[in-house]
Structure 1
Amino acid sequence: MSANVPAVLIFVRTRFLLVLSLLLSVLLATLSPTAPALAAAETGAPGAQVVAVTRVAERQVDLTVRSPALGGRTVNVRLLTPDGWNPHDHRHRQHWPTLWLLHGCCGDYTSWTSRTDVAEIDSLRDVLVVMPEAGWNGWYSDWWNHGRGGDPAWETFHTKELRHLLERDWGAGRDRVVAGLSMGGQGALLYAARHPGMFKATAAYSGSAHPLLNDESVDRVMGFFAGQDDDPLRVWGDPVAQRRVWRAHDPFHLAKRLRSIPVYLSCGDGTTGPLDPPGSTSALEADFNRQNHALAAELRRVGARHVTTDFYGPGTHGWAYWERELHASLPMLLGALGDGR
């Protein structure tokens, strides 16, 4: 360095370069997809906001989201991220096709990763898998709440708040498919039907496909709430007085809206199957089996173009079957993403 440069300038310049280097190191560690934790997004925008981010395993990130649709409460969303995912790289940000995986009653956002091998499936390494919280018994609906509406509004949270948040800040693209089990199977069918164009395909594993099928089916849904000391009329109201609300959340009565996309339905018949302990039976699975047969027939009646069913006979309401059916349905689901992959 020239001897003509004053010593004070040399000192200032050296300190500046040192601080700049430290700042760049911190920034790169924050943005790196291999970092142990990611910084929460501070968007300042109205609506749902991510207030915490936790990396829980390789390619698994949990977002804690504060939701106006849920009365300002915070809930979690688990992301199974694709290889190369780095949503904070604004210069080279990529938007990934998404698979939404919905949990069932009495489960949560961790169910799919804790109970299946979804995180090990190679064909999902170029897809962003979204596993949102939906309440212990939320039924993927904006609850009627005796005509008042309001919290919880799970459908609004998922299809509006969370979708926009993920697409704006977390690398989700606009090519989407959805699948779910049991209550989440109903949710997957409902979201595809009630939001035309949002999902390119849908799959339901042992899903509640026609809750208005008969009194047994109605009583079963009502019993889920009564058994948890909750008011069974809050979600869709009375099945007679609020019949219109029930029909609006019954996939059978929305079959026409599913005609243009691939639909996958699977279910056992509730008797002991090859993946069950000896002597196992499930009245719930038997009921859902009848519901799924009814929906499949209705889809074909209204001219649905792509309906795949796997009504595999003996089998109860259990994860071993749902893991198997996820694998069986993935070619259809990922194929529907087409060039988005």
Structure 2
Amino acid sequence: MVKLTKVMESNVRALCGRFFMRGFASVGVVIIVMAVVSGAAGRALAAVPAATADGARVTGERWLGGREVDLTVSSPALGTTAPVRVLLPRGWSRSATRTWPVVYAYHGGRDTYVSWTRSTDIASLAAEYGVMVVMPDTGYSGWFTDWRNHGAFGPPKWETFHTRELTRLMERDYHASTARAAMGISSSGYGAIKYAARHPGMFRYAVSLSGILHLTQTGIPPLILLEASERYDPFRIWGDPTLDRANWEANDPYVQAPHLRGTGMYIASGLTGRPGPYDHPAPGNDGIEAQEILCGATTVSFVKRLKRLGIPATTHIYGDGYHDWTTWQPELHRAWPLMMAAVGAVRTSAAQTT
């Protein structure tokens, strides 16, 4: 593994002269990046939301052909409806008497529920292994959290929607089994690991690709608040990072890492923010990408904590590579067989998947 501090020092110097970002506002980013490199965080116990009454229901189905369907789910936790894309395995039917392993694949903060099928070959991978894939909406920077709303709580409750309402609905109505995995990229990598930590035993495997895995690391809270402020009051999510520190820590994968013992994990991220072997930027657009540097810093911090705790994980901390699907696609292929083994999905022949 490349020494993080040396890599970060050179990257920060480069950022001062030239950088671009996809997803974070650029105001004050160089100062924040330098703070993230040397930051640390405290610890707290998680407060998992209580199970809700089963009021979620599917109000619409739109079949896209083959085994792909878009659902509209009415969610009491969200106080509205949310779209969910589902890939169904070969042999699935409403009258089936068996269940199938399921992967919950979450999208990034500013993307949509179609991102995995749009930007990867996940449909082919799912068919090859006979596994169900559920890709729910996660909101525009919803942050996989039951929002605090300045102490009033109430919707949106993204964590309750994903881990209570949706899982129950999939298991009750669509033959999903309790052999579950969770995966995500960027902020949804945070969501996958956070859910696994806050709900021990719910997921057999969790995958984070370029995730933000140390929420309270110095410099990260201001960045998140800055990004969220473009759309809404950012203090609605977890509250004030100082006054409501306990709530931030209760939602921090780094702090909640002890609860990941027994969960398989694949953790990957870049460090340098430079274009990698799968990136082909146009001339003049090949600068340093600060977002991947920040995610890499939090990922390395999280991986070090796992090692101190003696919790195993498969890691791939690479050097160059943008915060982009071109880098995440090969990482998906590295993580997929490990995830399939964890949920007990059996690889089928090419003939069986057609």
Q: TM-score, normalised by structure 1?
A: 0.82
Structure 2 match to 1:315: 321
Q: Distance in 2 between matches of 1:287 and 1:70?
A: 30
User: Secondary structure, in 3 states, of the residue corresponding to 1:50?
Assistant: strand
Structure 2 match to 1:299: 306
Q: Distance in 2 between matches of 1:157 and 1:77?
A: 11
Instruction: Please list the CA deviations of residues 73-102 of structure 1 after superposition, one character each: whole Å capped at 9, or x if unmatched.
Output: 11111101111111x21xx42210001111
User: Secondary structure, in 3 states, of the residue corresponding to 2:69?
Assistant: strand
Q: Distance in 2 between matches of 1:237 and 1:176?
A: 31
Decide which of 293, 313, 336 is 2:342's aligned counterpart: 336
Structure 2 match to 1:62: 70
Evaluate the alpha carbon distance shift between residue 125 and residue 62 of structure 1 in structure 2; reply closer, same or farther with a 3 A threshold.
Answer: farther
Structure 2 match to 1:178: 182
Letter in 1 for 2:148: W
User: Secondary structure, in 3 states, of the residue corresponding to 1:260?
Assistant: coil
Query: What runs of 5+ residues in structure 2 fail to find an aligned partner?
Result: 1-52, 348-354
Listed as ranges, the matches of 1:1-341 within 5 Å are 46-71=54-79, 73-86=80-93, 88-89=94-95, 92-121=96-125, 124-215=128-219, 217-228=220-231, 230-269=232-271, 270-276=273-279, 277=281, 279-304=286-311, 306-338=312-344
Contact 1:98-1:128 at 8 Å conserved across structures: yes
Q: Distance in 2 between matches of 1:53 and 1:93?
A: 21
Instruction: Please list the CA deviations of residues 137-193 of structure 1 after superposition, one character each: whole Å capped at 9, or x if unmatched.
Output: 101110010011111001001111111111001110110011101111000001100
Could you tell me how far 1:252 is from its partner in structure 2? 0.5
User: Secondary structure, in 3 states, of the residue corresponding to 1:231?
Assistant: coil
Evaluate the alpha carbon distance shift between residue 280 and residue 46 of structure 1 in structure 2; reply closer, same or farther with a 3 A threshold.
Answer: same
Instruction: State the number of aligned residues.
Output: 290
Could you tell me how far 1:124 is from its partner in structure 2? 4.5
Contact 2:101-2:344 at 8 Å conserved across structures: no
Could you tell me how far 1:58 is from its partner in structure 2? 2.3
Q: Distance in 2 between matches of 1:339 and 1:327?
A: 15
Letter in 2 for 1:326: L
Letter in 2 for 1:54: R
Evaluate the alpha carbon distance shift between residue 81 and residue 253 of structure 1 in structure 2; reply closer, same or farther with a 3 A threshold.
Answer: same
Structure 1 runs of 4+ aligned residues shifted over 6 Å read: none
Answer with 1 or 2: which has the greater Rg: 1
Letter in 2 for 1:115: S
User: Secondary structure, in 3 states, of the residue corresponding to 2:275?
Assistant: coil
Percent identity (aligned):
42
Structure 2 match to 1:14: none
Q: Indicate the structure whose relative CO is greater, using CA pairs within 8 Å and at least 6 residues apart.
A: 2
Structure 1 match to 2:18: none
Evaluate the alpha carbon distance shift between residue 296 and residue 169 of structure 1 in structure 2; reply closer, same or farther with a 3 A threshold.
Answer: same
Contact 1:81-1:125 at 8 Å conserved across structures: no
Letter in 1 for 2:274: T
Evaluate the alpha carbon distance shift between residue 327 and residue 201 of structure 1 in structure 2; reply closer, same or farther with a 3 A threshold.
Answer: same
User: Secondary structure, in 3 states, of the residue corresponding to 1:235?
Assistant: helix
Contact 1:175-1:340 at 8 Å conserved across structures: no
Contact 1:184-1:207 at 8 Å conserved across structures: yes
Could you tell me how far 1:271 is from its partner in structure 2? 1.4
User: Which one is further off, 278-287 or 322-331?
Assistant: 278-287
Q: Distance in 2 between matches of 1:319 and 1:128?
A: 22
Q: Distance in 2 between matches of 1:340 and 1:168?
A: 23
Root-mean-square deviation (CA, aligned residues, Å) is: 1.6
Query: What runs of 5+ residues in structure 1 fail to find an aligned partner?
Result: 1-44
Q: Distance in 1 between matches of 2:126 and 2:81?
A: 32
Contact 1:97-1:340 at 8 Å conserved across structures: no
